Amino acid sequence: MLFHVLEYVDWPADAFPNETAPLQIGLFGAIPFPEALEVLEGKSVQGRRLVIKRLASAAEAATCQVVFFGAGEKDRLAQVLPQLSDRAILTVSEAEGFAERGGMVGLVTGQNRILLEINRDAARKARFSFSSQLLRLAKLAKERP
């Protein structure tokens, strides 16, 4: 599902160091099935090769264009998300309530499918935009105060 989301995201111009730079996806925290994301390594989205990196800290996310948080990281989100919020880094997770906690894209398990929750305010703050096709499929989430 992450791969398909990436096809419908417009990154800010300064998100990449140059026109041929890869799109780096950082995996933050314990991810139950990392091989499900690591299979994306080497694939291409929007003309950019995907590179998967494991991250141990928010500081390591600085070179990534996407940070995927493991569902078990929900207790650390309040600490880490503010460190990424003003950067051109798309934040994604399957943690419950992720978009309401300030993340940009939540992947929520529904009845026999994965549902999208998108926090447009968090995305706008980092200068991201999503295609209307993606927004039609998603539930729009508001950040909790």
Share of the chain above pLDDT 90, in %: 48
In a domain, 108, yes or no: yes
In a domain, 58, yes or no: yes
- What pLDDT digit, counting tens, does each position of 48-95 carry? 999 999 998 888 988 899 999 988 888 888 889 998 888 899 999 988
pLDDT given for residue 108 in this prediction: 84
Closest CA to 101 of 109, 110, 114, 92: 92
Position 145 pLDDT exceeds 60: no
Between 110 and 131, the higher pLDDT residue: 131
Q: Which domain holds residue 49?
A: 2-140
In a domain, 40, yes or no: yes
For the segment 21-39, the average pLDDT, to the nearest whole number, is 85
How many distinct structural domains can be found in the chain?
Answer: 1
In a domain, 145, yes or no: no
SS3 content of the chain, % helix, strand, coil (to 5): 30, 30, 40
Stated pTM of the model: 0.90
The torsion angles phi and psi of 9, rounded to 5 degrees, stand at -110, 140
CATH number of the domain to which 78 belongs: 3.40.50.2300
